[in-house]
Amino acid sequence: MSNISRRELITTGLAAAAGVAGVGALAKIASANGLIPPDSGVLYGTGESLTYAAQRLLTRHSMAQEFSRDKISAKPFANEVNTLPAEFAPLQAGGFEGWRLKVDGMVARPKAYSVAELKLAPSQSQITMVACEEGWDYIAEWSGVPLEKILRDVGVHPSAKYVVYQSIQPEWYESIDMADALHPQTIVAHTMNGTDLPVPFGGPLRMRVPRQLGYKSVKYITRITVTDDLKPFGKGLGGIDSDNGYAWYAGI
Ligand SMILES: Nc1nc2c(c(=O)[nH]1)N[C@H]1C(S)=C(S)[C@@H](COP(=O)(O)O)O[C@H]1N2
Ligand SMILES: [Mo]
């Protein structure tokens, strides 16, 4: 689909959703559906908010494209990462037995999962694309535990709005809204192309959010926090990338 027809689709869809073409009505619908991004009115202003709202109204129930097995990239590209912190090497040497994924915040039962526990849980597999904002991409098969199952396990407070996830790399964190957190293709991946997720690709555990750009798929995750407020995290705009001027909602 070309940009223009996609744009037309969004405009038409929005007009239909709003019943009228008025921006005021749209803003109302957006806010009634919890579709105002955390940075609205602060840095990005109304335009960005409405783009986000338009995307979310139309795509929150849609699926990222899945590919057939023959489309899996022969040479997936592992993007370079900053040096991993000192605690990573001993965890790796121990086969990641000591790795824990903490889940806390607005939950009834905070937990810390081992990699082995997550590997035993029912998993979801998907052949999807990692698309970097720099213009390259690759396709791989990812398997892991749907984030929705983890959230169900810990019991999310009904007024929670966002899920923040943190890497063992202290500077790397990102967040998504509840619609994406509960989306069936959002998984805590532990397996790539049928083997343990390799370290260059984020092993032992990585968030896979195939409906958004690659930077939302944070590698080496150690903590998931459920919240209704992104301000306390990083510079307060919901992720290392949005803190640095990229879109918080990076839908593709
Ligand atoms: N912890 C961590 N996660 C990260 C990054 C990183 O540097 N550190 N880079 C991000 C970016 S910008 C992209 S495009 C993808 C790249 O995924 P890949 O290495 O599997 O290609 O990982 C994302 N997740
Ligand atoms: Mo990227």
Residues 103-115: tens digit of each pLDDT:
999 999 999 999 9
The residue nearest atom 4 of ligand 1, judged by CA position, is 218
Residue 128 beta carbon below 6 angstroms from any ligand 1 atom: no
Same domain for 234 and 120: yes
Same domain for 76 and 50: no
| Separation of alpha carbons 58 and 26, rounded Å | 13
Is the pLDDT assigned to residue 174 strictly greater than 50?
Answer: yes
| Separation of alpha carbons 201 and 56, rounded Å | 28
Same domain for 94 and 47: no
At 29-77, the pLDDT tens digits run 555 555 555 554 444 455 566 666 666 666 666 899 999 999 999 999 9
Q: Which helix (H) or strand (E) holds 93?
A: helix 88-93
Q: Which atom of ligand 1 is nearest to the CA of 200?
A: 19
- Give the ligand whose atoms come closest to the C-alpha of residue 84: 1
Same domain for 97 and 155: yes
Show the domain range for 18.
6-59
Same domain for 130 and 96: yes
CA nearest 221: which of 186, 180, 174? 174
3-state helix, strand, coil in the chain (%, to 5): 30, 25, 45
Residues 6 or more apart from 94 whose CB is under 8 A from it?
Answer: none
Residue 81 beta carbon below 6 angstroms from any ligand 1 atom: yes
pTM (2 d.p.) = 0.81
How many structural domains compose the chain? 2
Same domain for 81 and 43: no
Query: Beta-strand (E) ranges in the chain?
Result: 100-105, 111-114, 124-131, 137-146, 162-167, 173-177, 187-192, 195-196, 206-208, 221-227
Residue type, 45: G
